[in-house]
Every structure is written in structure tokens, then in C-alpha cells.
Amino acid sequence: MNQKKALSRRKFLGNAAAIGALGALGVGAVVSSCSRRPTYVGPTFPDQAPDGQRLRAGVIGCGGRGTGAAINFINSGPNLEIAALGDVFEHRLDRCREQLKERVGVEVPDANCFTGFDAYQRVIDSDVDYIILCEPPYFRPRSFEAAIQARKHVFLEKPVAVDPVGLRQVMAAGRMAESAGLYVAAGTQRRHQRDYVKTFEMVKNGAIGDLVSANCYWNQSKLWHVNRQEGWTDMEAMIRDWVNWTWLSGDHIVEQHVHNIDVVNWFFEKHPVKALGFGGRHRRPTGDQYDFFSVDFVFDDNRHMHSMCRQIDGCTNNVSELIFGTEGYTNAQNRIWDYNGNVIWEYEYPLGDDGEPMNSVAISPYDQTHINLVTAIRTGNYLNETQNVAESNMCAIMGRVSAYTGREVTWDEMMNSAMRLGPENLEMGPVDIPAVPPTPGTAPA
Amino acid sequence: MIKRESFRRGRRFIILVPVVLTTLFLFLGDRIVRYTSTNEFCNACHVHPHAEESWKKSTHYDNKSGIYVQCAECHLPPPGDINYLLAKAKHGSKDVYGWIFKDPESINWEAKRTVEKAVDFVYDESCTKCHQNLFPMQLSQDGQQAHLYYNQNQDDLSCLNCHLHVGHYSEIAQKGIEFGTADDTDREVFTEPAVVETFGDFTEQIPGTPIAFDMVAIPGGTFTMGSPPDEPYRNDDEGPQVEVQISPFLMGRIEVSWEEFIAFYESTAAEGRQDNIYATNLGEVDAITGPTPPWGLPDQGWGMGSRPAITMTWHAAETYTKWLSAMTGKSYRLPTEAEWEYAARGGTTGPYFFEGDPRKFSSDRFLNRIFGPDTAVINSYVIYSENSQSRTQPPGTVWPNPFGLENMLGNVYEFCSDWYAPDAYSQYQAGQVVVDPTGPGSGTERVIRGGSFTSDAGDVRVAARSHTRHQAWQMTDPQIPKSEWWFTDTREVGFRVVMDWDPDN
């Protein structure tokens, strides 16, 4: 009897594995056995998610990105609903409700709108299927874990954590999602952007030969800051000004530049194993972050990626990637050159009303991410991007720690690091974190 | 015509025979392979008495789900695995040999349950064939971190590193929660430390505890440190030999015992598992911060009392000496490597402090393997691989050395204060007498000396040197950062204290 039971469990596990394998195949890698170099065919993204069982989404973090992501979700297909909203601040929640009503005609009842530090849990508990996680990154690990524990599908905005402890929590929750059949798409939307995906296909099929090195950039003007006002506690002032505090944002190398690092990791199909970087602060009015970083990342096979990011007005701006191969190079997005300066391939953008090619893909990558996630859920074609985004996020943290300390930092050190940022208690009150940026050569790792 | 007919029939027969035989062979072969992997077949020969019983008590038999796992499901790779038949042949022939030629009483079953041995007959592929999901929702935070760690270090880790007793129940492994609470009710508690006025043996008392221990006076003198190039089993790091002068000091008669170490643990233990690393490193605390609670059972369930304390880090041992100094108002510390060897030699100059030839004692030689090593002399001075029964032994089981120190060789490796360097001795100026050397100024691992209960006779020579292996010894510590107080993956290391003697004081 017992033996029989054991056998049937085995069989069940076997079937589950087989289904998993089929799912993996469906993702897009089809191998043709005829040609010498196997031809990789990238995924074809749908313009709309198919109809299916109604999906009720809860938005956690209702700032600009949360509101935007909620609209992207509503745009992605039929039978989708925003059912609950949560934010630490009431004023952010109100603005989000207005926007949703104005732009997509969605009204969320009062009973499903939550504020305060426990809003995330109350959104998760309010009979939803799909969680949109857009709080400041510091909160992501705990909210992601809670969402997975409650068996929700998740749109996981980047970055996913500000420190190694949180990052490992995200990695583990991602594995749990996988074993529980929960779907996760990440906010590294270039992987859902059709021109990038096509360029990846070209490069994977040898269009620039073997990959040699890469550069990536996120150099922009000053982002934004919020001056402290009378009556605000430390905590309130920090969260309102979160893109300037490392414990909340991870610093901009993590918060923004993770996008570009992720593209290089994607094309190289691995992540760097060490980093040596530097950075500093010249112009930032608030917080404890740097306003520029320059990091030399090294892969395990000694190939290098140079990464650069800056948030300073009046300088040359550039947000892009460059990937060099033995036979040419690409901007990873839409163009491939040979080393004689000739463009040897260009992505064909769709034609606009005037009959000329548009300068963007047919479907916004932000919408496309939700289309792909909803499609995956409704077709059973398994999707979970946690590990990819977590690895790129860890590289960005590795770069930040190297710049802050002035020392070379390895992947293994990060994977075994006990670094945990932020205050002990989450409550509106004093926070003992001074607005002092780290000094390289002296900061503890 | 007839002839041709019979020829044809004959030919058909000739073709048929191998086909039938092959089919039969394959069919029977399969049946045999299957039959010889049943529990009944295993248990028919496996004479170690507790295998079946402990299996039935384990979670792989006795669990809520009602599923039980068969012998061969863990002790062979999964059927269909490329190594399945090979492993089956290997274990099968070993079992047959053992069944015919070995006396089950003479086999050390306890040793087979250590992780070092168990990895030889338990297969990770088999664990993960059933346990496909390493991240179930119910998994604890520690479990999540441990499994992430396993995923990143799969080449160096086995499931058994953390899950050793899941297939066969171990009472020992179930305990281990009450670590660090000594039962001191009927024992006199000392209020004062021992008073020492003259250089000589004395018994130290730790105030506020019922713990006392003996200190042996080691007179100063000069000796030759290291071994001559022709000493059997000598390693290069034991030379060149150096003339060393040692000032008088006192040394613990026995290795620091569990009851001594527990007294320290009880009075200093840090709360929770968060080590206050920065405070202790900076010396900012008046009170000494002691060990955090260990994972598992540091005494391995062998018992505490006077058995040597083991598995603490060098930092923990060193902190112990600081605590002991503060408690007694004396100057305790770890011995230097030179002091250790001087004390261990007790005036002798050979490979051991007793008569004997490592070549005769070692189990590592071809002839000794066949006829058995000579254990007569070494047996009564050293706890080592041949007589330890795979565990530490309390003091009093072997004879002391000429200074009256017990277990200098064998039982457990002992920490020295020196950093380890293989070329440490060649750093000293040749032909000069070195006075109270303290070893290299920096390094990454510390010297350990004396060999342990698992060492071969060749490695318990008085000049033999070894060193800590931090990374390997904390491989399965699931904490981040790893404990600065406990090693999770060695059972062989402990220490002994020395006390400075200041003749002017």
C-alpha cells in the first residue's frame, strides 16, 4: 500500500517535470538540426493577452510607476481588473485613484484602498490574483515574499532589493514561486521590447561573432528630490525623497542602471563575478547617495563590461548599451555595425500613418511586459524572471559596494554578505541614518 | 533435400539459441537487479543490528504522509542513472566480501554514520530524485538561505552535510537543544581563584562556578624544534630544525574540557545568533562577549563533562583565555607553537615522547594494512585512529607524557597562537638559538598541533604540524555571515591553555 503510494507520487513528480520541460521549450528556443550553427528563434510577443479567467490585480506602491504599471496592466488585454490599492501615503493613493479614473476609467472602492506600512499585506489579503509591486525598492523583498506565500502572480518592478540580504530573500521567493507554479515578470522591460529581442536573436545567431566586451551607460540629468517640510518625521521625509537615500533606492546604479547591466547579462548569458568601481557626489541636494559611478565588471572568463551612470545636470547624457563581438558590434537595441563603420543590420520598425517607419516598437515594452505575463498565466506557458533580475540587481549592488568602499568586490562575497540597509523599525518617526555619503577607503563593506 | 532441410533447421536453431539466451539473460538480469534491490534482500545480509530499526524510526519511514523509502532508493543512484549498475556492482561485491570475511562486531558502525563516510554510499541524485522541490512554501528562512547556498556550491556540498540523520534515526541528533546548561546543583561553587605564589603545579578554580582544573609547571629550557629530514612521515614544513629557548610557563594538564568551556559559554554567551563582531574586535567592551548558540550539537552527542571541548573557532578559544584571565586575575593564553612542541616533547627528541617507530605504528603502509599495524606501545599513550572508536575520549584513558601532560598527541588537535606558514622555521636565522618565538607576523590560518582521534600514527608525531581550514570547516554553516564562534564541519579541533609565569610577580 505504502509502496504504491510512493510510486504514484513519483509518477506525479515525473509528470510535473515533463510539463515543466515542455513549458521551457515553448518559451522560444527552437533548435534546427540542419544548419551548422543551430538557429535560435526568439519569442514572438502577442499584441494583446488572450481572453481568459478574470484577473484581479492589487497595486502596492501607488506612485508614478505603480500608477503607470496599473494602466499597463489594464491595457494588456480583456477581463482585467484593478481591485485593490496600497501605499504608505494617503496623498499618493488619492492621486493614483484620480489618474486611474481619468485615464482608464477604473474606480477602486474605498474598502479596497489601504495606507500605512501594512498596506502591502492588506492588498495581498484582499482577494486578488496578481500583485503589482512598485514600492521603493527597500520594501520589495518582504512584499514579494508575502505575495508568493499568499500564492499570487507578481509583476516585480526593478530593482528588487537594495542589499544582499533582501536580494537573497527575493531569490528564494522566486524559487518558491517556481515550485508553486506562480508567474513572475520583472520590470526590466527591455527583455519585453521587440527591437531588443530581435537584436538578441541576431547576436545569438552569430551576427557579431563571439562576444568580446560591453559598455553600458545611464547618464542623465539630475533626477528629482523633495525638500523636507515642517512637521514631517525623518521617515516621512526620507520616503518622500526616496531616490536620494541608499537604504530606500539602492542608489541610482541599482535603481536605474540595473536596466543596462541587465541587458549585458542577458546578451552574455551570464553575470559578472567581480567589480571594481568608483563614484562620488558633487551636486545632489538631499540624501546620502552618490551622483556618479564608473565600474569595471569582470565575468568569470575575464571578459569585461564597463558601466557608467550619472545624475548631474549640464553634462553629456547617454542611456544605452554597446556590445562588441569578434566580427562587429551592436547597440543591443536595433542596429549592428561591422568594424568598418557600416551598418550591417537594422531593426525594421513598423510604419506610421505617414508611411514612414516609426521610431518605436509597435507595443510599448511596459505594456508588453504585462501582456506577456497575462498571456503566460492564461496559456500556462510558464514565465518567471526573478532569477534574471535578481542577478543583475546583485551586480549593481556589487558595483555600488565597490565604489563606496573603494575595494574590489566579488559575487561570492555578495552572496554571503550580511549587509542589510535601513532602520530597525518601520514607523513614522526618527531614523538614525545621516545624510552623509560614504568615503571610499574607509567605509565598512 | 532432407539434408538441406535439417541444415536449415539447424541454422535456425543456431540463430535462435543466442536470441533466446539473450532474452532470457536480459529478462533474468532485470529480475535479478530488481530482486537484489529489495529491502528483504538487503536486510537478509545486512547484519548491523540497528540499520532496519533506525530506518523505521526515521522520517523516511515514519512520517505523516505514509510514504516510505526503500534501502536502495538512497543507497544506490536512481535506476536509469548512468552509474546505477556500476554502483550496484561496487556495493554488492563489497557487501559479499564483508559478509564472508568480516565479523560484524569488528566493524565500526558509528563511524559509518559520519558525513565523511556516508557520502560514499548515499547518493545526492537519489535525494533530489524525490526531493525535487528545494523551495517549498513551508521552508524556513534558514532553509531558504541554506538551499540557495547549496545551489551555488553544489560541487562542494552534499545533501548529507545538513541532513545526515534523516534516513536512519539518531537519538543523538534529536537532542542538542539543551547545549550549554550544566547541571551544577550539588557542587561546591568557588568564590575565589587559586592563589599561586611559587612556580609549581596547582589547581585553578574558576570563581562563581564549581569548575577546577590542573595546571602543570613547565620548567624553562632549550630544545630542538622540528624533525630531522630522515624521520618517517615527515613533512617539509617540519624543518629545518631550530634551536629554541623557552621561558618557564604553566600548561593545562588536559585539553580544555566541555565543563570548563560551558562555564565560559554560560557566563558570556551572546544573545541570539547575531555576533557582536565589531565590539569585540575593537576591544570596546568591558565584559567579554562570548559564543553565540551553536548549530546542532558541538559535542556530537559523545558526552561533555571532562571530554575535550571541540568545534570552537580559534577566535572562540582565544576569547576563552581572555575570559579565564579576567575571572582568575592571571595571564592565560593559547600556547605558542614552540611552547606546545617543547611541552609535548617533555625532554625527548624522537618522533614521539615514547619509544617507537612511526613505520611500525602507521596503518598507512601496505604490509601493515595486511598484517595490521603494531599498536602495543602507542595505544597506551595516544588516542588516534586505531583506538579512538571514531570519537574523542575523556582524560585518563592513556598515559601522560614526561611533564605529566595528557593527550598532547592525539584526541584533538590543539590551537596554537601562531599563524601557520609552511616555511615558518626557515624564517629563523640558522645556527642561532631563538628565544620564545611567536611565529609569522601575519597569515590566514592558525597552527594546530598534535593530531586527533582520526589521525594516523604518522600524523600524531610530536613534530607534525597542521593548520585550521576556515572555509572548509564552515562549509555548511547556514548563517550569513558564518559564525565566528563555531565550526560546523570539523570535529577534530580543541585547545589547551597556558599561563605566563612572571618570576618577579
| pLDDT value at residue B355 | 92
Q: B67–A149: do the CB atoms touch at under 8 Å? A: no
- B240 lies in the same domain as B340: yes
| pLDDT value at residue A71 | 97
Residue B477 with chain A: CB contacts under 8 Å: none
Confidence label for A147 from pLDDT (cuts 50, 70 and 90): very high
Q: B145–A168: do the CB atoms touch at under 8 Å? A: yes
C-alpha torsion angle, residues B339, B343, B349, B353 (rounded to 10): -150
- B19 lies in the same domain as B57: no
| pLDDT exceeds cutoff 60 at A17 | no
- B101 lies in the same domain as B29: no
Q: Tens digits of per-residue pLDDT, A195-237?
A: 999 999 999 999 999 999 999 999 999 999 999 999 999 999 9
Q: Which residue of A has its CA nearest to B66?
A: A2
Confidence label for A108 from pLDDT (cuts 50, 70 and 90): very high
Q: B147–A13: do the CB atoms touch at under 8 Å? A: no
- B312 lies in the same domain as B396: yes
Pairing of strands A343-346, A409-410: unpaired
Tell whether A5 lies on the interface with B, counting CB pairs under 8 A.
yes
Helical residues (DSSP H) of B372-482, grouped into ranges? 470-473
Distance from CA of B34 to the nearest CA of A (A): 15
- Asked if residue B180 is part of any domain, the answer here is no
Q: Which residue of B has its CA nearest to A175?
A: B135
Cβ contacts of A391 within 8 Å, gap of 6 or more? A265, A271
Residue B145 with chain A: CB contacts under 8 Å: 168, 172
- B224 lies in the same domain as B139: no
Residue A445 with chain B: CB contacts under 8 Å: none
| pLDDT value at residue A6 | 40
Name which of B133, B147, B152 is nearest A415 (Cβ-Cβ). Answer: B152
Q: Tens digits of per-residue pLDDT, A250-271?
A: 999 999 999 999 999 999 999 9
Number of domains in chain B: 3
- Asked if residue B188 is part of any domain, the answer here is no
Tell whether B144 lies on the interface with A, counting CB pairs under 8 A.
yes
Which CATH number characterizes residue B288's domain? 3.90.1580.10
Residue A6 with chain B: CB contacts under 8 Å: 67-69
Question: How open is the CA angle B410-B415-B420, to the nearest 5 degrees?
Answer: 110
Tell whether B68 lies on the interface with A, counting CB pairs under 8 A.
yes
Residue A127 to residue A134: CA distance in whole angstroms: 19
CB distance A133 to A60 below 8 Å: yes
Is residue B413 within a helix (H) or strand (E), and if so which, with residue range? strand B413-419
Q: Tens digits of per-residue pLDDT, A347-370?
A: 999 998 888 888 899 999 999 999
Cβ contacts of A365 within 8 Å, gap of 6 or more? A189, A190, A192, A193, A194, A196
- B212 lies in the same domain as B231: yes
| pLDDT value at residue B295 | 65
Residue A289 to residue A311: CA distance in whole angstroms: 11
**Average per-residue pLDDT for chain A:** 92
Cβ contacts of B469 within 8 Å, gap of 6 or more? B445, B490
- Asked if residue B46 is part of any domain, the answer here is yes
Tell whether B267 lies on the interface with A, counting CB pairs under 8 A.
no
Q: Which residue of B has its CA nearest to A150?
A: B137
Q: B135–A172: do the CB atoms touch at under 8 Å? A: yes
Distance from CA of A6 to the nearest CA of B (A): 5
Which CATH number characterizes residue B51's domain? 1.10.3820.10
Distance from CA of A384 to the nearest CA of B (A): 15
Interface of A with B in 280-299 (CB under 8 A): none
- B347 lies in the same domain as B464: yes
| pLDDT value at residue B179 | 62
Interface of B with A in 25-44 (CB under 8 A): none
Task: Give the residue from B133, B154, B174 where a domain finishes.
Answer: B174
Q: Tens digits of per-residue pLDDT, A21-79?
A: 434 444 444 444 444 567 999 999 999 999 999 999 999 999 999 999 999 999 999 99
| pLDDT value at residue B54 | 87
- Asked if residue B283 is part of any domain, the answer here is yes
Does ipTM top 0.85? Answer: no
| pLDDT exceeds cutoff 60 at A14 | no
- B43 lies in the same domain as B31: no
Give the cell for residue A373: 505575463
Q: A416–B148: do the CB atoms touch at under 8 Å? A: no
- Asked if residue B246 is part of any domain, the answer here is yes
Name which of B68, B145, B152 is nearest A2 (Cβ-Cβ). Answer: B68
- Asked if residue B81 is part of any domain, the answer here is yes
Residue B149 with chain A: CB contacts under 8 Å: 415
| pLDDT value at residue B52 | 85
Q: A416–B480: do the CB atoms touch at under 8 Å? A: yes
What's the average model confidence in pLDDT over A96-106? Answer: 96
- Asked if residue B189 is part of any domain, the answer here is no
| pLDDT value at residue A257 | 98
Distance from CA of A274 to the nearest CA of B (A): 16
| pLDDT value at residue B80 | 86
R_g over Cα of chain A: 22
Q: A17–B132: do the CB atoms touch at under 8 Å? A: yes
Give the cell for residue A215: 559598455
Q: A5–B139: do the CB atoms touch at under 8 Å? A: no
Tell whether A175 lies on the interface with B, counting CB pairs under 8 A.
yes
Residue A30: which of A22, A39, A21 has the closest Cα? A39
- Asked if residue B190 is part of any domain, the answer here is no
Distance from CA of A9 to the nearest CA of B (A): 9
| pLDDT value at residue B177 | 44
Residue A13 with chain B: CB contacts under 8 Å: 130, 132
- B224 lies in the same domain as B154: no
The whole domain housing B3 covers 1-35
Residue A286 to residue A292: CA distance in whole angstroms: 15
- B313 lies in the same domain as B430: yes
Q: Per residue of chain B (505 residues), what is the pLDDT tens digit?
A: 455 566 566 677 777 777 787 887 777 777 888 888 888 787 777 666 678 888 888 889 988 888 889 888 999 999 888 889 899 999 888 888 888 888 777 777 777 888 888 889 999 999 999 999 999 999 988 888 889 988 888 888 888 888 888 898 877 665 544 565 556 567 888 999 999 999 999 999 999 889 999 999 999 999 999 999 999 999 999 989 999 999 999 999 999 999 999 888 888 875 444 443 333 333 333 456 777 767 667 777 777 888 999 999 999 999 999 999 999 999 999 999 999 999 999 999 999 999 999 999 988 877 777 777 888 889 999 999 989 888 899 999 999 999 999 999 999 999 999 999 999 999 998 889 999 999 999 999 999 999 999 999 999 999 999 999 998 898 888 777 788 888 988 999 999 999 999 877 6
Residue A291: which of A274, A273, A277, A311 has the closest Cα? A311
| pLDDT value at residue B95 | 83
Tell whether B152 lies on the interface with A, counting CB pairs under 8 A.
yes
| pLDDT value at residue A100 | 97
Residue B73: which of A40, A416, A2 has the closest Cα? A2
Q: Which residue of B has its CA nearest to A7?
A: B67
Is residue B95 within a helix (H) or strand (E), and if so which, with residue range? helix B84-101
- B26 lies in the same domain as B89: no
- B163 lies in the same domain as B238: no
Residue B279 to residue B285: CA distance in whole angstroms: 6
Q: B133–A17: do the CB atoms touch at under 8 Å? A: no
CA A77, A78, A82, A83 dihedral sign is: negative
Which residue type sits at A205?
Answer: N
CB distance A188 to A258 below 8 Å: yes
